[in-house]
A = this chain, B = another copy of it.
């Protein structure tokens, strides 16, 4: 395809781009739909927030400081399961500098965890469950006060492993230890008939570990009451979701809560909802009549604010000798933690490969550990590891190249919704990714690599939701000096939202990027934008921005028509100058149009169009990994990762590359090292800091990462054709590495993370 764009991961800064804008020939707006190159959108563009972040002037929630601000710290359960018999705060209250202490004794019973508990519950269901919260003149005093609170606990029997928790004999955390009392199930076709048709049937069990988000910036809120109105600075992925959660909890109108987030240091799904800490801070602030800051420490982040549930996946698949999949069964369970959180992981299994006969059963199980939360593609990372591992094994079994096997079972339509895709270019991901990694040149039979440093190549597929989510709005203000401001109710997680919004507005209005200011992350003043989860930020907000800009262009042309006394249809808009097509002397810059309309500012509000009916919107991709395994040490080193994706339009290759790199590196962490470890004797978590919970460092990154985007735009889904990249970048990495490791050493690793001890054990028993 001539419109295909291939973007390498080399960063390049086109500083002169804005200046050269005036020289670029104008294209019609239909360019958006045709996949033709645009002038600003799709070009590598430096971050709008770059200066702030590099200079250190960027204000994160953690940096907010208000006059008279007090500091809060939380007392948390030291036991995995216990009942509070008594709390005595008298000694703590006497500590100089302590301002207030709240517990279940002096606060309303505020429902939490979908009504299964309270803000302060007297039953504590995991190590880290909230017991009390102290406000003091300093964080240090608040911490000291925690030591002085005397709590009498009745310890209860606990269970911290999902398989054990499902048994009859296990201690019950709620009425039943199974979320909603039953598994999530799905089936299509005739599973028995499917296996009967198979020439080969494989049954294998794969396990993945519990991972913790461990964002760079801690969970943090600063709260301030102004009469009956509450302002909350919060490190969050969903300002409106947090606002509504706080309003519900406090029983005040949503209009009286204002949530502000300018910059943040990562969320990955752990900052989508209002935190207990935020509500506790608000209660304390109300009581003491002062602003309150609360920031979790690394231990609290590892205990209490979410994780990716583990999984045990029993898989069974059948195929004919020609490679046709005839039947697939996925049965899994995973730990929700102590409160509701879905642990299902069968979605990729249901959708990405063509298979007419299929069953899935997913159990989400309560255990005495911190509750799960969505983490970068919930369910998909675990599920893709299991699925793409057994798919590789089946290909091996029937003597077929794994890539050929996947192409043989390519799903042309959405098998669950029975609907066509708005677009699917997974084919091209396979082809281009394979070419980039040297699939057919370099790949050798499994375990055939000579010497002690064994090389291997593997791959995996990716499917994810994409294309929008709920409505999003954007307001555009065009000033009479020709500069513009865009205000939207979305938030920038650090991924580049500020920048691509300016790009979209600049593309339509043809004004320099530097003259566009973007204001995000303030529920008080922004029109509504959805939470930044599910990779929906760009797909939801970019169409609203384009709509607002197109409306503005229409308004300007209409204004110019009246001033120039030329019909609108006889005017052209080029480089922010409107001129008569037939008389080039008759022209006005947009700044002059605004002035001559006697306006100071023109305003438009754009809306994202609804998703098209009758279609399924998904993003697709394939990642390829080349690894070295040192069979003396068991250590795995990544030589190269190729990420080839169909994610609709790329708005900014620079930040898109960043996000792919980040997703892949986080995938390496999940594949090789990240793991929450709990002590079965005490029920306590052992990995509560970044020394014990290992995340990848620069030493663990691949020698080379190559990002290939096979898609240009998906005009069916929106006026910008963006599908979203946050989660797709991360989904298949671990599975691709596992397949590469198998290719290197000839032994299947069925359990993540693939730590050196597991490799050595697999090789030498």
Q: Which residues of A contact B (CB under 8 A)?
A: 51-52, 55, 57, 59, 65, 67, 226-229, 240-241, 244, 247-248, 253-256, 470-471, 473, 475, 477, 479-485, 487, 489, 514-517, 519, 522, 524-528, 530, 598-603, 605
Contact = CB atoms under 8 A, between A and B. Distances in A.
A519 B517 CA distance: 20
A525 B487 contact: yes
Contacts of A485: 255, 524
20 contacts: A51-B228, A57-B227, A240-B601, A244-B600, A253-B482, A253-B483, A254-B481, A254-B483, A255-B479, A255-B484, A255-B515, A470-B598, A471-B599, A477-B527, A485-B524, A487-B525, A524-B525, A527-B603, A528-B601, A528-B603
A524 B519 contact: yes
A55 B479 contact: no
A571 to B, nearest CB: 22
A484 B523 CA distance: 12
Nearest to A53: B227
5 smallest beta-carbon distances between A and B, as pairs: A253-B483, A525-B525, A528-B601, A255-B483, A254-B479
B600 A240 contact: yes
B528 A253 contact: no
Contact of A525 (B255, B514, B526): B526
A600 B527 contact: no
B525 A253 contact: no
B603 A517 contact: no
Contact of A244 (B59, B256, B481, B516): B481
A525 B517 contact: no
Contact of A227 (B55, B530, B600): B55
Counted per complex, copies of this chain come to 2
Contacts of A240: 600-601
A527 B470 CA distance: 23
Contacts of A519: 524-525
A680 to B, nearest CB: 42
A390 B253 CA distance: 58
A662 to B, nearest CB: 24
Contacts of A527: 475, 477, 601, 603, 605
Contacts of A479: 244, 253-255
Given A253-B483, A475-B605, A477-B528, 14 more contacts: A51-B227, A52-B226, A55-B227, A59-B226, A65-B67, A240-B600, A241-B600, A253-B517, A255-B516, A256-B517, A519-B525, A524-B525, A528-B601, A528-B602
Contacts of A525: 487, 519, 522, 524-526
A475 B253 CA distance: 18
A480 B244 contact: yes
A61 to B, nearest CB: 15
A525 B603 CA distance: 11
Contacts of A229: 517
Contacts of A475: 475, 527, 605
A603 B530 CA distance: 13
Contacts of A599: 470-471, 528
A525 B487 CA distance: 6
Contacts of A489: 601
Given A228-B51, A475-B475, A487-B525, A470 B600 contact: yes
Nearest to A522: B525
A667 to B, nearest CB: 31
B603 A473 contact: yes
Contacts of A65: 67
A354 to B, nearest CB: 31
Nearest to A226: B57
A510 B67 CA distance: 38
A515 B253 contact: yes
Contacts of A526: 525
Contacts of A524: 485, 487, 517, 519, 525
Of residues A240, A489, A530, A601, which shows the largest number of chain B Cβ atoms within 10 Å of its Cβ?
A601
A598 B256 CA distance: 22
A78 to B, nearest CB: 37
A530 B253 contact: no
A253 B55 contact: no
A291 to B, nearest CB: 11
Contacts of A482: 253
A577 to B, nearest CB: 18
Contacts of A228: 51
A477 B524 CA distance: 9
Nearest to A527: B603
A140 to B, nearest CB: 20
Nearest to A516: B255
Contacts of A530: 600
Nearest to A224: B57
A525 B485 CA distance: 8
Nearest to A525: B525
Of residues A470, A475, A599, which shows the largest number of chain B Cβ atoms within 10 Å of its Cβ?
A475
A741 to B, nearest CB: 43
Contacts of A516: 255
Contacts of A52: 226-227
A276 B126 CA distance: 60
A515 to B, nearest CB: 5
Contacts of A471: 599
A560 to B, nearest CB: 17
Of residues A248, A524, A525, which shows the largest number of chain B Cβ atoms within 10 Å of its Cβ?
A525
A288 to B, nearest CB: 14
Of residues A59, A479, A524, which shows the largest number of chain B Cβ atoms within 10 Å of its Cβ?
A479
Nearest to A600: B240
Contact of A481 (B57, B247, B481, B483): B247
A229 B65 CA distance: 20
A18 to B, nearest CB: 13
A240 B601 CA distance: 9
A112 to B, nearest CB: 18
Contacts of A605: 475, 527, 603, 605
A596 to B, nearest CB: 13
A247 B480 CA distance: 11
Contacts of A517: 229, 253, 255-256, 524
A482 B255 CA distance: 9
A83 to B, nearest CB: 34
Contacts of A484: 255
B254 A528 contact: no
Contacts of A59: 226
A641 to B, nearest CB: 34
A599 B599 CA distance: 33
A677 B229 CA distance: 46
A556 to B, nearest CB: 15
Nearest to A472: B603
A602 B255 CA distance: 12
Nearest to A65: B67
A57 B483 CA distance: 36
